Copies of this chain bind each other. A is one copy, B any other.
Amino acid sequence: MPIRTGPVVVPTAVIKRLPMYYRYLQVLVDQGLERVSSRELSQLMGITSSQLRQDLSYFGEFGQQGYGYKVTELYQAICEILGIEKQYKTVLVGVGNLGRALINYQGFSRRGLNLKGIFDNNPAIIGENINDFTVRSVEELRPYLQKEAIQIGVITTPASAAQKIADLLIAGGVTGIWNFAPQHINVPEDVIVENTHIGDGLLSLFFKMKHQERLELK
């Protein structure tokens, strides 16, 4: 499912690499590096310089022949492409182990996540304070979403509750869902679901370790 941005159709494979570009460029920005060539950056990232240049070319021309890329310019371009400057208003539902980790993580506000409220259905934790947020009851979720014009909902409830919460979020006007529950969520066409399956990484590691001795370049 490639995406048309402006006049150009961008392949899915390219889109999947954008967050990686963001991560590596952020490091270079923090280091205060002024310029970088496609060869240097691609070596850091473990990809070919050809792929890096090809990927960027879908979005515009960001470099200069004979010079390379200005790090801050390229970083800002990637931020712009990703939509980081949009500051989407967000709620999180399910203040358990994972929910708390996300709420306390500073990296997300840097990425432009504007967390406005956190919700749970467990009376024992409603009212609790976590990193300046007070846990609200899911009963209040629906009206809260509309009052605050929330755009993104993060689901960190057990899988059994995920669809119900998604329905609530959508009814409240949310158009993007970041789902951590290992549960497929059905949504209308105009709502976007991004699933993050943390456990998948572990299984990939298992597989590679089991077949390690047989690892082979084709």
Residues of A in contact with B (beta carbons under 8 Å apart): 1-5, 9, 15-16, 18-20, 22-23, 44, 46, 81-84, 86, 88, 97-98, 100-102, 104-105, 107-108, 111-113, 151-152, 175-178, 182, 184, 190, 192, 194-212, 214-218
Contact = CB atoms under 8 A, between A and B. Distances in A.
A207 B9 contact: no
A113 B178 contact: no
A21 to B, nearest CB: 10
A113 to B, nearest CB: 6
A105 to B, nearest CB: 6
Contact of A9 (B88, B107, B202, B218): B218
Contacts of A199: 19, 23, 107-108, 111
A3 B203 contact: no
B176 A192 contact: no
A203 B101 contact: no
Contacts of A196: 198, 201
